[in-house]
Structure 1
Amino acid sequence: MTRLSLASIVTTSAFGLCAVALGAHAQTPSAPSAAGAQELHAADKTFITDGTQTVATQRDAARIADSRSSDRDVKAFAEKLVADYTKLSDSMRAASPRGVDVPANDADTAVLDGIKNLRGADFDKTYIEQVALDGQQKTLSAFQAEMASGRDAGLKKAATAALPVIQADYAQAQELAKRKHLAG
């Protein structure tokens, strides 16, 4: 029978423990997106979901307005929203913390379904009241809530930078509603 020295036993045991530890570490899933999402404050998570949805809804509804509206003022407003809200969507995605999934196109389908089969004056009225006014108000609220309660510096900065654009678009929606003699 072979006798092992104490040093050999200690070295072999240490090597074995290192191998077990490395094997256990290799089997632990490396999921930065899950860790990043768990570390994100609730207000920031809400902003990512609600903010991206309102932005996507405004953008997609404005695209529908371009083909369904018969009014050049509504079409001009919609074209501006497509440009503004495409930029907002990109800035939100860029500002989100690494590993956090930001929905690319998560529009509210109920809102889009409510307008996509309308045309002409019926479309214009519904679009102005339900999308331009109500939708802009929801977007404004989501961004203001992030500024007030959010904790992620990048998201708060994006919300702060976007606020003047959203406020200007909301004011333009109110003016459009007034010119068309609609609630606003």
Structure 2
Amino acid sequence: MTRYPLASLIGACTASLLLATTAHAQTAQATPAAADDTKLHAADQAFVADATQAVSTQRDAARLATSRSTDRDVKAFAQRVSDDNAKLSAALRAASPRGVDVPNNDPDSAVLDSIKNLRGSDFDKLYIQQVALADERKALSVFQAEIAAGRNEQLKTAAQKALPTLQAHYAEAQQLAGRKHLSGSAQ
């Protein structure tokens, strides 16, 4: 058995302890920087919350429309919105930085509650005016605000890619409202 002088053992232990302490300190300093990567600017946080809610509300209202409407044009429009918004929701989730909570389904319950008990032409009228026109305008403004003021490049890019789809939905909703002689078609 090899014998080491006590001073050598103490020196080795001190060196090991010093290395471990230094490594821990460096890890502790790196952790806040990594946490800062998942923090979003207020505009980006608002976009994630508002866009998720807008897309979820449009999608869920469109699903209601496919079963409660009696008008084939309204049903066809609603099916496109439902399909497109399912894709938009997935794109938002994919564009959000790791560690950012993106709600899976967060629709505006007041909007859905206002139409869920209606059927036929009463449903169609309120769906077109409240959801297809008014709520689509809100969704457009949410995405346009992210494009203008957002700081997260991935979210801005997702908003830019989604904007033509939302604009097409709104234009189609205006045409639908015009064909049904409803207010809001010229806005």
- Which residue identity is paired with 2:12? T
The residue number in structure 2 matching 1:48 is 48
Aligned residue for 2:6, secondary structure, equals coil
- Which residue identity is paired with 1:111? V
Note closer, same or farther for the CA distance 1:160–1:121 as it changes in structure 2 (3 Å cut).
same
Query: Conserved in 2, the CA contact under 8 Å of 1:69 and 1:120?
Result: yes
TM-score by length of 1: 0.87
Per-residue CA deviation, residues 124-177 of structure 1 (Å, 9 max, x unaligned), is 111111100111001100100000001111111111111111111101111111
* Aligned-residue RMSD, C-alpha: 2.6
1:42: how far off? 1.1
Query: Conserved in 2, the CA contact under 8 Å of 1:60 and 1:107?
Result: yes
The residue number in structure 2 matching 1:132 is 132
Per-residue CA deviation, residues 67-106 of structure 1 (Å, 9 max, x unaligned), is 1111111111101101111111111111111222211111
The residue number in structure 2 matching 1:67 is 67
Aligned residue for 1:106, secondary structure, equals coil
The residue number in structure 2 matching 1:4 is 6
1:8: how far off? 3.4
Gaps (5+ residues) in structure 2? Answer: none
Cα distance in 2 for residues equivalent to 1:12 and 1:112 = 67
Cα distance in 2 for residues equivalent to 1:153 and 1:24 = 31
Cα distance in 2 for residues equivalent to 1:78 and 1:63 = 7
Q: Share of identical aligned residues, percent?
A: 58
Note closer, same or farther for the CA distance 1:118–1:33 as it changes in structure 2 (3 Å cut).
farther
- Which residue identity is paired with 1:11? A
Note closer, same or farther for the CA distance 1:167–1:107 as it changes in structure 2 (3 Å cut).
same
1:66: how far off? 0.6
The residue number in structure 2 matching 1:155 is 155
Query: Conserved in 1, the CA contact under 8 Å of 2:38 and 2:98?
Result: no
Query: Conserved in 2, the CA contact under 8 Å of 1:36 and 1:100?
Result: no
